Amino acid sequence: MGLHYKRILLKLSGEALMGNKSYGIEPGMLRHYAEQIQDIQALGTEVAIVIGGGNIYRGLQAQDSGIERVQGDYMGMLATVINGMALQSMLESLGVYTRLVSAIEMKQVAEPYIRRRAIRHLEKGRVVIFSAGTGSPYFTTDSAAALRANEISADVILKGTRVDGIYTADPLKDPTAQRFDRISFSKVISLGLGVMDMTAFTLCKENNLPIVVFDINARENLRRIVLGEPVGTLVYP
């Protein structure tokens, strides 16, 4: 079976790295994600990753802490660099070549973001981890994922979550919630479903970039998606 998606952007939340902890990084979860990424990269998939920072610092906390919004957003961006470094180390321990790229310049730990160079890394089979969001405050890591995916001409954004797709309501709270296998961008908007924040979602909609929302904790899901199996919910143009 051939690859259904050749170049993907995987969006992971920072919370995904916590496992059962209340904050920080659970080594077992880090290895779980790294092994799945290694698996699809071995199939020939070109893999870019955007990872959040919510396991270390959430910008939303700033309002309660007396830290102003812009400063809090930059702190959140730095948290994503820490997560990116952790994921890079785990991938490299598995023998996967990676590049950590930062939207905020910190040349001791990461490359600056240069679009053509990032694409070249992908073409050479390196996993590219995009960190520090967009480099600007007021944008979430969802927006960074949408922006980078469009810039590198990814075939799809794969948004790894704790639920197995998009539902009519939160399935963890409403047992009657119905899951969608496929749903159009316009229907997501009309039903007011929270797939990504509106800035990120609009960027994907305008550029006809599909999104797959899926359960990242199920072991084979990433492999199944890149091979074209119907996993999770596809949001299509």
Are the C-beta atoms of 102 and 81 separated by less than 8 Å? yes
Answer yes or no: is pLDDT of 62 > 60.
no
The encoded tokens of residue 83 equal 């997560």
Q: Phi and psi for 18 in degrees, rounded to 5? A: -75, -25
State the number of CA atoms in the 13 A half-sphere of 124 facing the CB: 12
pLDDT tens profile 165-188: 999 988 888 989 999 999 999 999
How confident is residue 123, by pLDDT bands cut at 50, 70 and 90?
A: very high
The encoded tokens of residue 112 equal 């600056």
pLDDT tens profile 202-233: 999 999 999 999 999 998 999 999 999 999 99
Q: Domains in the chain, ordered, with CATH?
A: 7-236 (3.40.1160.10)
